[in-house]
Each structure stands twice: as structure tokens, then as C-alpha cells.
Amino acid sequence: MSDKKGLPKRSENYSEWYNELVRKADLAENSPVRGCMVIKPYGYAIWEKMQQQLDKMFKDTGHTNAYFPLFVPKSFLEKEEGHAEGFAKECAVVTHYRLKADPNKKGALIADPDSKLEEELIVRPTSEAVIWHTYRSWIQSYRDLPILVNQWANVVRWEMRTRLFLRTAEFLWQEGHTAHASAEEAKAETKQMLDVYAEFVEQYMAVPVIKGTKTANERFAGADDTLCIEALMQDGKALQAGTSHFLGQNFAKAFDVKFLNKQNQQEYVWGTSWGVSTRLMGALIMAHSDDNGLVLPPKLAPIQVVIVPIYKTEEQLNNLTETIQTIQKELKAKGISVKFDDRDSLTPGFKFADWELRGVPVRLALGERDLANGTIEVSRRDKERGEEGAKTVESIAGIADKIEALLADIQVNIYQKAHNFREANISKVDSYEEFKKVLNEKGGFILAHWDGTSETEQKIKEETKATIRCIPLEMPEEAGVCMLTGKPSKQRVVFAVAY
């Protein structure tokens, strides 16, 4: 037993635990380019599962995929004022299209001064600008609407401080961009996609979220309204898991996108955009994992069941292999992904720890003893080592049905644990003193009254680092007074320190 191979404890250093976990579970690593990451095969497999499910949900709600270019002419970005201001400080800019040998230094390359671009190209920080420019030529009549398009892409935002998955300079995401003939329809779309995100995060990632509206301060640059889902991490900090924006007619006006309505009148198009990114990976990791490693919900685990044979001789392995392959076949028939870990030269103990680290929901261990008894050892990852029910011995007969049920149970249990944690970490406070105290000692979501002004929000942020995560959609109205200014308030809002 050496703890050199173990993770730091969450309780001792949460952020170091996170960093090490991402690395040790083979999810991602830092790249030679500052702020950018290499997503490793195992991490990418999880992202692919997320993509597949989300993509299905988008298509089920009538959307289709398309692809727009990586580069945005600078002039496009200038068109929507709020949008330009919001992103200008973090853009990668392409100025040249050719390299040449450096005359002053052998073997070195420089940007060829003769290849300077007439107009600089911006690596997209988001695609509203290119897409609305394109929509201009796609839309003439109300008959061309709505346009319901999504794209899977990478974007670049030159962040000062980055962390694997949570904030990287380049990240993968999807961005939906829709165009509608009326404000009502666009608003309904905005809400619909928020609901899709919430369903995905809760049902598949097993992470409970609060749906809400962003305050003006936190709103997307160029939107009239931003809806979001907010999740709570195990260290008491909030993570914005997805956003859906009602763009009003802002981009239509900036890019002159009009349509002729049924009354034969020109009208500006109404827009929405919505996105989730590889940051969801961060949410998934932080919401469920423990000091032994990753804990993955079965619905998103690339490997749902791993089988570890326990043997001494090659002959013993051969005896086990037959039974294991039968079990493997039965599980696969049920659509369960199974890995038979027959790596020689690694001890069972090492494999147990290794698969725990990688978050595989169910582990089966089979040895000679089991074979003689017709049994198999079943371990569930959602319970900690030694916890009641973490490990059981089951009969091999009918094992596939049991595992299928177990996977479903794990999915529910993981959600329930995260939900219980969040409920235990939502506090209602009525004074600023209490607010600061709870924030310091406990963290989590804090429900408090706020007078609705940006000044108050700003002041609280400066003094406590907590921001208004959202004005919740599904919480009863309640009269009260702002905890800072004492002015009247009709509803509590959600405060938290955020990632």
C-alpha cells in the first residue's frame, strides 16, 4: 500500500485534487500551447457520449447541424456593439497568411511581411457574427423561418487563467443559432433549449441544476436576456453549466437581416443562441468524484462494466476466460459496454485501483473460488470502499439482468447524492452579515433578497467575490428587502462564488 499513487484529498486541497484527477484518470493534459489542452482518448470518449445524447435531443426538437468558418473578419465582430465589447479583450487575431525563413537567424521562421492581411481575421470566440451575416442571405420571407441550426465546433477565448476543462483558451462546444419571425417564438425557443440542457445535465450527467435568468451584469454580450442552468460543485462553488440567449433583434439589426411578413411588411428577424461546452466535463468530474478517483454516471461512462480475472497460471486464466466471455456477451446484448481486463503482469489490486480512478460504474471480479461456487464479485463505484453494499457476491446465473438493474440504480443514486448535497448547501439568509458568514463558513448557493440594481450586485461582488448566479425561474415569489440596501424585493436570487 503506497499512497504515492493516490490522489490528494478533496478536503485538503480541492483544486489540486481536481487537477490530479483529470490527469491521472487519463482525461486530459496540458499542451505545449499555453491554456490549451489535449483531451485524451478516455476523456474524449466521455465527451462523445455527451455529444451523442445532446445531438439527439437537438434533432428531436427540430434542429439540424451545419458548419460555419473558424475565422471571423474583424469588421463582422464590430457590427454588434455590445458583442464586440464583450469579446474584444480575449480574441486571437490572424494577421498574416505565410511564413518565411528569418534572414537574421538560421532555421527560424517569421511571418512574411508581404503576406499581411488586408483585414485581420479573428479566431471565433463564438459564431453569432459569421452566422448572422450568413442568415442575411438565407432569409427573405417569413416562409424561410424559423431557421433552427446547431454547430459543433471549437472556439478560442484568450483567457488569462485557465484550468483543464473548466476554462481553457480553446474549447469544444455546440452553439445553436436560431432565427424566428416573432419575439414570442424566439423566447419559446430560448426556454425550450434551456429545458433541454437541464434535462440532459440532470438525467444523463446526474447533476441537479437551478434554472434561472442572468442579471444584466452577467448577461451574454449582445443578448436581451440570458437563461442559464447553475450547478453546485462539491467545494461549494457554483458552475454555470449552460446558457440560452434571447438575442432580440440585436444581431438582425447589426447584420441587417429582415424578412417580409404575411402583411407584406419588412421586419427584423428575432434570434436565439445557446451553448454548452467541454466545461460540462468539469462539472461531471467535480460533482460526483471522490478521493479514490472519478465517479461516472452509467449513462455517460465509456466503459460501464469492467471484468477483472483473478488467476495465477495461464491455465487458470483460460478456465475463467470462457465464463467471462459468456457474461460479456450477455451484457453486450443488453447494450452495456464491457471491458475484460486481461492485461497480464498487472496485479488484481492494481487493476481495482486503476478502474476506480477511471470511474467505471461496475466492476466484476472472477476467480477460481467463484468459478467453483458459481458466483462473481460485484463492486459498485458510487459507494466508497468498505461502504455497506459497495461489494457483493452474486450468483453468475442471471447476472446480466442484475447488472442492468444495478446500472440504473447507480444512475439514480449518483443523482440523489448530488441532489442531497445541493439541498444541504442551499441557505436562505436575510442580512448581509449572515450572508458573509454563510459564504465564508459554508459556501454553496445562498438565497437572498436583492434590490435589482447593478450597483448593489457589483458592490456585493467586490466585497465578497460572490455573484448572482441567477434569478431562479422555478421559485415562488416572496416579498422582502434587499440585504444590502433595504430596498424592496419581490423574489430571492441565487448567490454563490462561481468557477
Partner RNA sequence: CGGGAUGUAGCGCAGUCUGGUAGCGCGCCACGUUCGGGAUGUGGAGGUCGUGGGUUCGAAUCCCGCCAUCCCGACCA
Closest to RNA by CB, 369 vs 490, is 369
Residue selected from 107, 113, 114, 160 as contacting RNA according to rule CB under 7 A: 160
Residue selected from 264, 265, 266, 347 as contacting RNA according to rule CB under 7 A: 347
d(CA 423, CA 272): 32
Of 197, 280, 212, the C-alpha closest to 495 is 212
What's the min distance (Å) between Cβ of 189 and RNA? 18
Closest to RNA by CB, 155 vs 205, is 155
Q: Binding to RNA (CB under 7 A): which residues in 34-53?
A: 34-35
Cβ atoms of residues 294 and 45 within 8 Å: no
Q: Does 76 bind RNA (CB under 7 A)?
A: no
Q: Binding to RNA (CB under 7 A): which residues in 161-220?
A: 161, 167, 218, 220
Residue selected from 146, 176, 212, 275 as contacting RNA according to rule CB under 7 A: 275
Cβ atoms of residues 182 and 270 within 8 Å: yes
Cβ atoms of residues 111 and 84 within 8 Å: no
Q: Does 111 bind RNA (CB under 7 A)?
A: no
Contact pattern from residue 378 through residue 417 relative to RNA, giving x for each residue in contact according to CB under 7 A and a dash for the rest: -x-----x----xx--------------------------
Q: Does 248 bind RNA (CB under 7 A)?
A: no
Angle subtended at Cα 370 by Cα 364 and Cα 372, rounded to the nearest 5 degrees: 155
What's the min distance (Å) between Cβ of 389 and RNA? 12
Residue selected from 87, 255, 415, 435 as contacting RNA according to rule CB under 7 A: 87
What's the min distance (Å) between Cβ of 347 and RNA? 3
Q: Does 243 bind RNA (CB under 7 A)?
A: yes
Q: Which three-class secondary structure state does DSSP give residue 159?
A: coil
Stretch that binds RNA, among 2-10, 46-54, 294-302, 398-406 (CB under 7 A): 2-10
Residue selected from 80, 170, 225, 370 as contacting RNA according to rule CB under 7 A: 370
Of 128, 132, 118, 122, the C-alpha closest to 88 is 122
Alpha helices in 118-176 (DSSP H): 128-138
Residue selected from 8, 73, 86, 236 as contacting RNA according to rule CB under 7 A: 86
Cβ atoms of residues 425 and 494 within 8 Å: no
The cell for 252 is 438582425
Q: Does 377 bind RNA (CB under 7 A)?
A: yes
Q: Does 479 bind RNA (CB under 7 A)?
A: no
How many residues line the site for RNA (CB under 7 A)?
A: 56
Stretch that binds RNA, among 66-74, 185-193, 256-264, 364-372 (CB under 7 A): 364-372
d(CA 443, CA 176): 33
Q: Does 452 bind RNA (CB under 7 A)?
A: no
User: Which residues, at least 6 apart from 106, have a Cβ–Cβ distance to it below 8 Å?
Assistant: none
Residue selected from 366, 410, 446, 482 as contacting RNA according to rule CB under 7 A: 366
Q: How many residues are there in the chain? A: 499
Type of residue found at 277: S
Q: What is the DSSP string of 13-66?
A: -HHHHHHHHHHHTTSEEE-SSTT-EEEPHHHHHHHHHHHHHHHHHHHHTT-EE-
Residue selected from 47, 352, 445, 450 as contacting RNA according to rule CB under 7 A: 352
Cβ atoms of residues 65 and 151 within 8 Å: yes
Q: Does 31 bind RNA (CB under 7 A)?
A: no
What's the min distance (Å) between Cβ of 115 and RNA? 22
Q: Does 8 bind RNA (CB under 7 A)?
A: no
Q: Does 466 bind RNA (CB under 7 A)?
A: no
Name the β-bridge partners of 488. 481
What's the min distance (Å) between Cβ of 198 and RNA? 16
What's the min distance (Å) between Cβ of 161 and RNA? 4
What's the min distance (Å) between Cβ of 211 and RNA? 15
Strand-pair category, 64-65 with 147-156: parallel
Contact pattern from residue 122 through residue 151 relative to RNA, giving x for each residue in contact according to CB under 7 A and a dash for the rest: ---xx-------------------------
Angle subtended at Cα 333 by Cα 327 and Cα 334, rounded to the nearest 5 degrees: 100
What's the min distance (Å) between Cβ of 118 and RNA? 26
Of 207, 211, 278, the C-alpha closest to 244 is 211
Q: How many CB atoms lie within 10 A of CB 339?
A: 17
CA dihedral for 279, 132, 213, 85, sign (positive or negative): positive
d(CA 126, CA 77): 10
Closest to RNA by CB, 160 vs 479, is 160
Q: Does 350 bind RNA (CB under 7 A)?
A: yes
Strand-pair category, 391-395 with 426-428: unpaired
Q: Is 253 exposed, middle or buried (0-12, 13-18, 19+ CB in 10 A)?
A: middle
Stretch that binds RNA, among 261-269, 369-377, 423-431, 447-455 (CB under 7 A): 369-377
Interface ranges with RNA (CB under 7 A): 1-7, 30, 34-35, 86-87, 89-90, 125-126, 157, 159-161, 167, 218, 220-221, 240, 243, 275, 292-293, 310-313, 345, 347-350, 352-354, 356-357, 363, 365-371, 377, 379, 385, 390-391
